[in-house]
Amino acid sequence: MKLSNIKYITLSVIVGLALTSCEDFLDRPNEDGYNDGNYFQNDAQTKASTNTLYNSPWYDFLSRGFFKIPEVMSGNLYMGGEPYMTFTVNGTDDALVWTSWSLWAVNAQANTIYNRLKTANASDAVKSAAMGECLAWKAMAYFYLVRIFGDVPIVHDNSSEIAAGDYNNKVKVNKADVYEYIIMTLEKAIDLLPEKNDAGRIDRWAAKGLLAKVYLTKSGVNANGNGQRDASDLANAAKNAKEVIQESGKKLMSNYEDLFKGENNKCEESLFGWRWSAEQANYTCGNCLMSELAMSGFDEFQSWGDWTAPSTDLQDAFGVSPLDDPSQRSDVDKRRKATMMMAGDTYSQWWQDKGGFDYLRFLYDKDYAPGSNEGLQSATGANVAKHQYGNNSDHQKTFGISAAKQCSSQATHVLRLADVYLVYVEAMIGNNTSTSDATALDAFYQVRHRAVAGFNMPTSVTLDQVLKERRLELALEGDYWFDLVRMSYYDMNKAINTIKNQRRNGYYGLGDLYKSYYDSKRTTWVVDNSKMYYETNTPIPNVTASVFTLPFPDEDVVYNPHLLEASQHVDVRSEFAY
Amino acid sequence: MDLNCSKKTLLAGFCSIFLLGYSPAMYAGGANAPLSVQQTKKITGTVSDAMGPVIGASVVIKGTSNGVATDFDGNFSLNASQGQTLVISYIGYLTKEVKVDGRATYEITLEEDKKMLDEVVVVGYGTMKKSDISGSSVSLGEKAMKGSIITSLDQSLQGRAAGVTAVSTSGAPGSASSIRVRGQATINSNAEPLYVIDGVIVQSGSTSGSGLGFGSRLDNGSASSVSPLSTINPADIVSMEILKDASATAIYGAQGANGVVLITTKHGKAGEARFSYDGMAAWSRQTKRLDMMNLREFADYYNDFVKYGIGGLKEDPYYSDVSLLGKGTNWQDAIFQTAFQHQHQFSAQGGTEKIQYYLSAGYMNQEGTIIGSKFDRLSVRANLDAQLKPWLKIGLNATFSNSNDNLKLTDGAEGIVNFALTSIPEAPIYDIEGGYASFARENYSIHNPIAKAMEQSNKLNRKKLNGNIFADITPIKNLTWHAEIGYDLGYSFAEGFYNTIDLPNWKETNESTWQKNNNTFWQLKNYVTYSNTFAGKHSVTAMVGQECWESKWDYERVANSNLPSDAVHNPKLGQNTPSVNMGFGSSSMASFFTRWTYSYDNRYNATYTYRYDGSSNFGPNKRWAGFHSLAASWRFTNEKFFEKSPLSKFISNGKIRVGWGQTGNSNINSYVWGITMQQVYSDLGIGYRPQNVPNLDVQWEKQEQWDLGIDLGFLNDRINLTIDWYQKESKDMLMELQLPIYEGTHGNDNSKLKAPMGNYGHIRNSGLEISLNTHPLIGKFQWDSEAQISFNKNKLIALNGTASAAIMGYAQWGATLVTLSDVGESLYSFYGYVTDGVYKDLEDLETSPKPKKYPADGNFNSANTVWIGDLKFKDLNGDGVIDENDRTNIGSPMPKFTYGWTNTFRYMNFDLSIFINGTYGNKVMNLTKRGLTTMSSAWSNQHTDVNGRARLEPINPNIVYTDGSKWYQHADNIRVSNPETSIPRAIIGDPNDNDRISDRYVEDGSYLRIKNISLGYTVPKKFLNKFGLENLRVYCNIQNLATITNYSGYDPEIGVSTMSPNVYGVDYGRYPSPTTYSFGLNMSF
């Protein structure tokens, strides 16, 4: 009997213990990282809370849409078989869907961080700067959205919309109103941002530069494809651009090619930039453009850009041709080589451990480039040079960290000072055909003179000159398509004809041409016109007004059938506030 | 002649035996006539069992109505003639037949039918007499597992138990099966049942490739082919009990919503030590090949592109004379191999009356049928039971296993299967020197799929120690206190190593990744059971208990690349910047529970259970929840009135059951109720970002289930029939809120804002289960038949509380929408367009509803607008435009019913078992075929089906175009020469999106499979004694011998996707299940 008493006591003790300690036993917030409650406690933490907006949510855009939409569609980049070449993109296209994911994720995170910052335990200056960065990136995301998809819904505050449960009833808002929404977002951002921020971060001037570009784009939005651009928008574009040019104290980088070198990741010309990191912990923080755009074997990691080639039309714009003898090529524009590599090009900043990079040697010397594909793969005789950092040893030397699969620390410039210079010129031309405004001429001169040494101060600049200059200056930086979209707002026919008149196809026989040249130790350049010529079999795509707006991803249309309805006018300034 | 003759005799013999078994009455009737004239004599005898005489046993002369019942002393007497057969039967005993010979008295001993009602079964926190159970459960014995070749115990559930659907995720060695008990009740990543081994909850740990440490190398779904149960040796298992309805699972409360599988391992029996050895060797192979183009066919196909100026392709001199070409590389033969496996198991058991032991060691080694895949496992087990005092029994169960998987990425666009199928036949596998060949042409290169398979290794080592220590204390009569500490310590080490690739057009540095995961789980439980019978008829059992558990996990991951050589796989040797990652966390649960059962006179039974659970996965507001269940049953065959009725002769057992209960699900990640700050790197420094939208009110998923069942035994239980109907509703289903893209909740995990986790879904499953077990033949030639069929209907009742909500499932990498679970429909229904042939000519194009790529300006263009020969899709909403609104439900991957049928025959020392299983009415989305019939690239091999594609021809071949253009550039001069085809024209870039998700890829996935045939021979004892053997059985076995199906892919058995959550039944290069031939022996001494 005694024994069983002990048993009963033990039993009751165990049961009792279990009961009393339950709540402690069950309370387990996350243990291996911070949570919302114990972060945002000082200035340093608060400042770092916006770092994510400089890379990770943009990754799904960078990885495909960033070059397929603005560069392939615009005819700057050749990708055989791509629906972006032929304007046959569907709502199920991977790159399109990923683009949509990414841009909306930027908006969602900017909104969420912005709201959380309001109650952060930090100094007003730090809080305000961080909130300004949120709004500036939000504006950038919307700027891409409206130029890619046209009319889009406005998601002002994700958490409250999700809590309210009406997220499937949203309607598309007229793009003119979306532009107004971007402008009011940027106005608030300009209020919040400091004149000078840490290197690489957005400051007030960057936001103003973007505002200028938004105004310029918006100016034609009500012209219905054929009409005058709005004068006050143009004036606002000019005003903001001029302030950046004259008051920011920022200068263009003196050598164009240096802009794309890793040591200049955070140069002052880079107003908005994606600040990637090759740290592998979460790979969406790294830059993957190299693997998409570089030739296989260019560095030690996988890349598959052999066939993603700067187009014939872009070469035409630079005044070069793959049929030109490299030794006699009239290569007056430095930007050509910084944008694309062609026969005869060498680059001292890449492959430094092997004495520099040589394009033809890369294609034909297996000892030199064992990982390359055999011979020329590019249909246009050129490969992408922009966005490349070289090989892993170059990366390590520049960034102090090795690159990894689809991950480098190379920054991507999203808005450059030179872009703002040209925005100013275009805004000053406005509805005229040219301008002779002194500031505008100087802005144009500074951009072009940097690349073309022999270029002298012009006496006037025409709209077509600016547009071409923009194309060359910003080639492969995700911009040219949007110039055409902007044009389509006020002159649809010109936009359509620009594309129709492009040379979007590749060449035949360039491989043999390059190889025999290389084999002859670069002495004999023989173009056999019967075998080496521009391919004209592929028909010119049918271009209509509808190509300037990409479809919404199919899945959203399932959730929200309103997206197939006509867009609505929303008075954004009364509906939304910051 | 002679041979033929004897064959015929043999056949006739077999047939007559068969007939004899099937209709004994007919046979006996025929044979009786001449016998009746024989002299009958009086015979007497006694019927007894192990305990003594059996009263009231029936003794009948076979084939007649002539019979008697035994008296109080078990005696009987009746008239019979020599040669007749006495049939002696009694409820609860195996029926026995005795031939009447020259003897006058017969001593007959009946053996208890172990399968019968008084069998004690495990029910969770105790055992119950099977006859007292009111809930619905199924038992699986050792035999079912022994009959087939299984490496993982979940595989043994397929087709064996009504209401349980088991579909293997992959045909890889040791791979997982997904088990669904009574339908898909949640869309949570974990819809698998709870496994409990000897009372300890099995920790499945992480089963996704990324959770284990392989990143996306095994695909990026929430499931992978890695089976958490493959670390357990099925040979140690004596029985499995699958609890299906809520009244049975409710005792597991919050963890029981997906069903519970209770597993009991072998324990020793008192007696001399008994040793056994089981061994098996097997060969597996893939028997099916897809009909891909060979080199000649591919060259023709390529030349067609050139001929019609498609995609600006140039003439390729290599293909210019097709007759000179060979067949090229058969990539399917290159990736599939005949795979060898072997298994060995030693065990020893025995003990005294007070202490018993069971010890075992097992080893298995299995190669996969896709080159490079492998699995091996070493396991040991020790089970001890000791009755230390009359009131104290203690026991220990412990098992340790060490397993190694060698995994390959087989599924998806980047998987080996897809690579092999799409690699063009021109590319060679090896170069002249025997190294891997690589292949490049202008504008094209491939990465050798064999090199991809062999040079990238994903090795997984898992170690697991689990078991428990328990004490049963009986302080007073009828009261038992069970105290138990259980543990499960798991360790996994994922080693990913990519060799240096140094091929002419493919060069890569090597890369080494290590991830080590540790899991520590302990559980403490105490329950007190009181059990007594009052006044002989009122039997009461009451149980009250407590349980708590804690699970802790941590991981560390290191990766680096550019090692000096491939010889040593250590990330430390890498010369690039290493990446290091680590994390840890825990979850816990505390529970109190009780169960009351009452049984009156073996006629009326009732059970009530209640469980109160608290889980750390929920926020402070909603942490605790209670779960009730009630069940009752009525054994009407024990009623007096029934025993008197004539039916009682026919129906030997009958029970009606009704049950209702609640169970829960707390299977979500911890701390989803708050906001986690995720670390992100950037060039501006390390930052932190809010990762998710919080939901403080996330709470228990509660499931309610009704069950109505009947158990019937006929003819002394020679025929057993069980029928169950159920309806279960999962309300407040835990899931991520399904949001449109513009809320920013889509994309890479590290990029998107995670949608809140909450209770957003409501699913109903209802169904019918029928099991029929019969013993058509007993005696010398025995035949047992077990058949089961399960019907289930699944319906998503509500979602998010909003109208247009739906759950989307994607093919891979999240961009191709393939399934849409819409409110009011079955989960995971395929979603897409309905095809309607091809556009035959320009007129057809102009008069049909307008597809998206219809040129507004009327300028048709073969490369970028819709064109003749493109697929026509149905304009379902009739608005004249073919757009997203014309998509619809194009089939459900959920079967209408699944079935299994096992037949076992025993004759002399031979046993033969044939197991057939299958599904009916489910559809499969064949995305493998999609890639093989897309015809949008000239550099991807295609299925020969595309030879039947829409072929264009000129309406008027005589027109000469002055601008030099060809007829195929003029839409008005083209028609399709084979307008009945369902396959579109070949066109690079596919402007009309012919390969959009449509019914073109939906196939009937119904199948009937001869899952298992095994033939065994038990060597007679008299031969064995010479060698000191007690028992020896040799067998051979064929698994997946044949599959009858209309499905055109490798294998219709497609279940959960390793590529993507919310997707089911999508075949995108799934590792097919092989056919396996094995030989083995069981030996004891």
pLDDT tens, position by position, B1022-1035: 788 788 888 898 99
Residue A12 pLDDT level (bands cut at 50, 70, 90): low
Which pLDDT belongs to residue A10?
63
CA B935 to chain centre: 35
Give how far Cα B91 sits from Cα of B87, B536, B603, B649, B785, Å.
13, 20, 16, 11, 20
Beta bridge partners of B75: B46
The set of residues, in sequence order, having a beta carbon less than 8 Å from that of B276 and lying 6+ positions away, is B345, B346, B347, B348, B1031, B1082, B1083, B1084, B1085
Q: Which residues of A touch B590 (CB under 8 A)?
A: 18, 22, 25-26
Residue B894 · residue B792 · CB < 8 Å: yes
> Is A14–B680 a contact, with Cβ atoms under 8 angstroms apart?
no
Which pLDDT belongs to residue A233?
97
Rg (CA), chain B: 33
How distant is the Cα of B378 from the closest Cα of chain A, in angstroms? Answer: 34
> Is B442–A301 a contact, with Cβ atoms under 8 angstroms apart?
no
Q: Is the confidence at residue A536, as pLDDT, over 90?
A: no
Q: In terms of CA atoms, which chain A residue is nearest residue B752?
A: A105
Which pLDDT belongs to residue B298?
93
> Is B740–A296 a contact, with Cβ atoms under 8 angstroms apart?
no
Q: Is B757 on the interface with A (CB under 8 A)?
A: no
Which pLDDT belongs to residue B9?
45
Residue B259 · residue B182 · CB < 8 Å: yes
Beta bridge partners of B195: B261
The set of residues, in sequence order, having a beta carbon less than 8 Å from that of A328 and lying 6+ positions away, is none
Which pLDDT belongs to residue B770?
95
B272, burial (CB in 10 Å: exposed 0-12, middle 13-18, buried 19+): exposed
Residue B367 · residue B173 · CB < 8 Å: yes
Mean pLDDT in residue range A10-29: 66
The three-state (H, E, C) secondary structure of A217-272, written as one string: HHCCCCCCCECCCCHHHHHHHHHHHHHHHHHCCCCCCCCHHHHHCHHHCCCCCEEE
Q: How many CB atoms lie within 10 A of CB A118?
A: 8
Q: What angle do CA B266, B268, B273 make, to 5 degrees?
A: 130
Q: In terms of CA atoms, which chain B residue is nearest residue A103?
A: B744
The set of residues, in sequence order, having a beta carbon less than 8 Å from that of A166 and lying 6+ positions away, is none
B287 vs A568: CA distance, rounded Å? 60
Residue B49 pLDDT level (bands cut at 50, 70, 90): confident
Which pLDDT belongs to residue B12?
44
Q: Which residues of B touch A7 (CB under 8 A)?
A: 473, 475, 481
Q: Beta strands of B202-250 (E only): which ranges?
A: 237-243
ipTM over 0.90: yes
**What are B610-652's pLDDT values in tens digits?**
999 999 888 888 888 899 999 999 999 888 888 888 888 788 8
Residue B451 · residue B436 · CB < 8 Å: yes
- Contact map slice: B 511-540 vs A, CB within 8 A: 511, 524, 526, 528
Q: In terms of CA atoms, which chain B residue is nearest residue A105?
A: B744
For chain B, the average pLDDT equals 85
- Contact map slice: B 855-914 vs A, CB within 8 A: 855-857, 859, 861-865, 883-885, 887
Q: Which residues of A touch B670 (CB under 8 A)?
A: 28, 30
Which pLDDT belongs to residue B1046?
95
Q: In terms of CA atoms, which chain B residue is nearest residue A156?
A: B743
Q: Is B504 on the interface with A (CB under 8 A)?
A: yes
B960, burial (CB in 10 Å: exposed 0-12, middle 13-18, buried 19+): exposed
How distant is the Cα of B598 from the closest Cα of chain A, in angstroms? Answer: 25
B319 vs B942: CA distance, rounded Å? 16
Q: How many CB atoms lie within 10 A of CB A281?
A: 18
Q: Between helices A438-451 and A463-473, what is the axis angle to 10°?
A: 40
B173 vs B227: CA distance, rounded Å? 10
B190 vs B706: CA distance, rounded Å? 23
> Is B740–A556 a contact, with Cβ atoms under 8 angstroms apart?
yes
- Considering A126-140, B377-391, B807-821, the range whose residues carry the highest mean pLDDT is A126-140
B1061 vs B186: CA distance, rounded Å? 12
Give how far Cα B999 sits from Cα of B51, B580, B822, B834, B889, Å.
67, 46, 18, 5, 9
The set of residues, in sequence order, having a beta carbon less than 8 Å from that of A25 and lying 6+ positions away, is B548, B550, B588, B590, B616
How distant is the Cα of A282 from the closest Cα of chain B, in angstroms? Answer: 7
More confident site: A93 or A491 = A491
Q: Retrieve residue B787's tokens.
A: 């058949």
How many Cβ contacts (< 8 angstroms) between chains A and B? 403
Picking from B213-227, B593-607, B919-933, B988-1002, which range would have the lowest pLDDT averaged per residue?
B213-227
Of B750, B806, B988, the CB nearest to A56: B750
How distant is the Cα of B664 from the closest Cα of chain A, in angstroms? Answer: 17
A299 vs B716: CA distance, rounded Å? 78
Q: DSSP H helical segments within A452-546, as ranges?
A: 463-473, 480-490, 492-500, 510-519
B1022 vs B1011: CA distance, rounded Å? 34
B1070 vs A154: CA distance, rounded Å? 41
Interface test with A, best of B587, B680, B736, B963 (most A CBs within 10 A): B680
> Is A539–B688 a contact, with Cβ atoms under 8 angstroms apart?
no
> Is A374–B738 a contact, with Cβ atoms under 8 angstroms apart?
no
Which pLDDT belongs to residue B116?
47
Q: Is B921 on the interface with A (CB under 8 A)?
A: no
B850 vs B865: CA distance, rounded Å? 11
Residue B460 pLDDT level (bands cut at 50, 70, 90): very high
A65 vs A426: CA distance, rounded Å? 26
A271 vs A268: CA distance, rounded Å? 7
Q: Is the confidence at residue B104, as pLDDT, over 90?
A: no
Nearest 5°: phi and psi at B193?
-70, 165
> Is B746–A113 a contact, with Cβ atoms under 8 angstroms apart?
no
- Considering A197-211, B703-717, B990-1004, the range whose residues carry the highest mean pLDDT is A197-211
Mean pLDDT in residue range B320-334: 89
Which pLDDT belongs to residue B31?
38
Q: In terms of CA atoms, which chain B residue is nearest residue A166?
A: B802
Which pLDDT belongs to residue B224?
76
**What are B420-438's pLDDT values in tens digits?**
898 889 888 888 777 888 7
Let me know how long chain B is: 1085
Q: Which residues of A touch B511 (CB under 8 A)?
A: 405
Which pLDDT belongs to residue B1084?
87
CB-side exposure of A32: number of CA atoms within 13 Å? 14
Of A25, A167, A375, the CB nearest to B739: A167
More confident site: A143 or B988 = A143
Q: Which residues of B touch A409 (CB under 8 A)?
A: 683
Which pLDDT belongs to residue A7?
58
Which pLDDT belongs to residue B715?
82
How distant is the Cα of A187 from the closest Cα of chain B, in angstroms? Answer: 23
Interface test with B, best of A3, A559, A562 (most B CBs within 10 A): A559
Residue A81 pLDDT level (bands cut at 50, 70, 90): confident
B660 vs B169: CA distance, rounded Å? 32
> Is B742–A556 a contact, with Cβ atoms under 8 angstroms apart?
yes
**What are B825-848's pLDDT values in tens digits?**
899 999 999 999 999 999 999 999
> Is A537–B312 a contact, with Cβ atoms under 8 angstroms apart?
yes
**What are B513-549's pLDDT values in tens digits?**
999 999 999 999 999 999 998 888 899 999 999 999 9
The set of residues, in sequence order, having a beta carbon less than 8 Å from that of B5 and lying 6+ positions away, is none
What percent of chain B is predicted at pLDDT more than 70? 92
B995 vs A494: CA distance, rounded Å? 34
Which pLDDT belongs to residue A479?
96
Q: Which residues of A touch B802 (CB under 8 A)?
A: 165, 168
How distant is the Cα of B805 from the closest Cα of chain A, in angstroms? Answer: 6
Picking from A241-245, A338-342, B90-94, B395-399, which range would have the lowest pLDDT averaged per residue?
B90-94
For chain A, the average pLDDT equals 92
Give residue A324's region: left, alpha or beta (phi > 0; psi -120 to 50): beta
CA A180 to chain centre: 22
Which pLDDT belongs to residue B36?
43
Q: In terms of CA atoms, which chain A residue is nearest residue B546?
A: A15
A84 vs B747: CA distance, rounded Å? 21
Query: b vs e for B255-271, b when ≥16 Cβ sit within 10 Å of the residue's Cβ?
Result: bbbbbbbbbbbbbbeee
Residue B398 · residue B357 · CB < 8 Å: no
Q: Which residues of A touch B815 (CB under 8 A)?
A: 92-94, 97-98
Picking from A351-360, B245-254, B736-745, which range would have the lowest pLDDT averaged per residue?
B245-254
Q: What angle do CA A528, A529, A535 make, to 5 degrees?
A: 125
How distant is the Cα of A172 from the closest Cα of chain B, in angstroms? Answer: 11
